[in-house]
Structures are given as structure tokens and as C-alpha cells.
């Protein structure tokens, strides 16, 4: 059991930002990463569609005997992780926008959240705000098109810069001093977002926290891999494997 891999999935390459954190903390673990690029993006899909896609990918990973599944996608977590936990006995680690830590550190009392349309519209997202916001104003900003630009490898193009500026500007105007990157794709745009937002704006994502939670759950179940050599990574995709490999290379993840 300890030698079994960790399963991870996302609508595309976004979850690779979380994979980096998991790999850094748990270098000896084997990982199977499934990029559902054939159905990317999830952000414009309905709740029912997202649940169905997440369930299908879960079956693929279970066929490969993974020992835990990291839902490395904020949209899939917010719409599907409760369903997955109810219908499958395996442990799931989900991604949620880092609203709680952002609220704890804001000085202006305004937190911006960049996320997909489906995340912003989700009931679980609204519950997060209601639970933690208190007197802090949380300003959600849906960012349609960003995932597609990242999937195309356009991390510094003029089109991407214009889109980032368009989505960041309302958050700055609202007085936000902290911006949550509420999609696992967005950390790949961190340098560009930081440049547009300016040096006084903190950017938060939850990849490292998810890696720590994965470690905690594996330890609790006595499933941490004790091998001394580095673990392997197996890549799966519902899209074109050649295009997926090229994009991983572009993102410097192999």
C-alpha cells in the first residue's frame, strides 16, 4: 500500500502548480497526474457537468490503485469534492481559495479573489466567505479566459497581460491589499499578476497547504512511502499527449 501512487487531477495543467508543492514536500512519493485537457476549462461548465467529469477521472485513478486523490482544481473541489467523498471510500484532498489566511493578514480589510466563473458562482465558495469574512470585504473576480491562455502557454503575451490588468484593476480600486489566486492555473501567472498589481499587494495560493494536508492524511493512515529514492511521475491526459508534454516543458515541469 505504501508504494502505491498519489493520484492528482485538474482540468488541465493548473494542478501542476500544486504538484510542485507536493513533490517538494514528498519527493519519495510516486504520483499519477491526470490532466483533463479534453474537457478543459471547467470554469464555464455547470455544476452537474463538473461533478460528472470529476467522477469519471476518479474512476480512472482508482483503476491505477492510487492511495489518495488530490483534487488539484479549485473549481472541481468546490463543486464535486463533497459528492466524491460521499460516493468513494478513498481519501480526497481538495483545493479551496485561501480566503481564511488572506482575511487574517489583510491590513486594509479588503481581500480580492481571482477565480473561475464556476468557482465564484458556487455555493461552497459563498459559504467560505460567509464563514470567515467577518468585517472583511471579500471581492470575488471571475476571470474568464485566463485558464485558456495558460493552457496555450501564453504566460507573458500582450493578450494575457491585458486580461490580467482587466481583472486586477477592480480589486485594486476596491482597496484590496491581498489577492487570492483561487485557481490552480493562476500561480503560473504569479510574476505577471505581481507586476500588474504592484509591490504592495500580497498574492496567496494554497498549494503548499494542500501538500501538507496530503502528508498529514498519508501519515495518519500509515501510507507514507518510506523508500529512499525519488518517486516517479506518470502523466495521463484526456487530450493530446504531445501538446500536454510540450506545455509541461514550457512550464518547466517534467
Catalytic residue positions, numbered:
73, 183
Strands (E), the chain: 6-10, 31-35, 68-71, 92-94, 110-115, 137-142, 178-181, 202-204, 233-237
Strands 68-71 and 92-94: parallel
Q: CB burial class (10 A; 0-12, 13-18, 19+) of residue 198? A: exposed
Strand, coil or helix: 10 = strand
40 and 14 in contact (C-beta within 8 Å)? no
Distance in angstroms (rounded) separating the CA atoms of residues 220 and 239: 35
Amino acid at each position: 500500500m505504501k508504494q502505491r501512487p498519489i493520484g492528482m487531477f485538474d482540468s488541465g495543467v493548473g494542478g501542476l502548480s500544486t504538484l510542485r508543492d507536493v513533490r517538494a514536500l514528498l519527493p519519495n512519493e510516486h504520483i499519477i497526474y491526470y490532466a483533463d485537457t479534453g474537457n478543459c476549462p471547467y470554469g464555464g461548465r455547470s455544476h452537474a457537468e463538473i461533478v460528472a467529469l470529476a467522477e469519471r477521472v476518479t474512476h480512472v485513478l482508482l483503476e491505477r490503485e492510487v492511495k489518495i486523490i488530490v483534487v488539484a482544481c479549485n473549481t472541481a473541489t468546490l463543486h464535486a469534492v463533497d459528492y466524491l467523498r460521499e460516493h468513494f471510500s478513498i481519501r480526497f484532498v481538495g483545493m479551496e481559495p485561501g480566503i481564511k489566511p488572506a482575511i487574517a493578514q489583510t491590513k486594509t480589510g479588503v481581500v480580492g479573489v481571482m477565480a473561475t466563473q464556476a468557482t465564484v458562482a458556487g455555493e461552497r465558495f459563498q459559504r467560505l466567505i460567509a464563514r470567515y469574512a467577518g468585517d472583511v470585504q471579500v471581492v470575488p473576480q471571475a476571470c474568464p479566459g485566463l485558464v485558456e491562455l495558460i493552457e496555450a502557454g501564453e504566460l507573458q503575451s500582450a493578450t494575457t497581460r491585458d486580461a490580467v490588468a482587466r481583472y486586477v484593476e477592480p480589486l485594486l480600486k476596491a482597496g484590496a491589499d491581498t489577492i487570492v489566486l483561487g485557481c490552480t492555473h493562476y500561480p503560473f501567472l504569479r510574476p505577471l499578476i505581481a507586476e500588474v498589481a504592484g509591490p504592495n499587494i500580497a498574492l496567496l495560493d494554497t498549494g503548499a497547504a494542500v501538500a501538507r494536508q496530503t502528508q498529514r492524511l498519508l501519515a495518519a493512515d500509515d501510507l507514507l512511502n518510506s523508500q529512499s529514492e525519488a518517486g516517479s511521475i506518470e502523466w495521463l491526459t484526456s487530450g493530446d499527449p504531445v501538446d500536454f508534454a510540450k506545455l509541461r516543458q514550457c512550464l518547466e515541469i517534467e
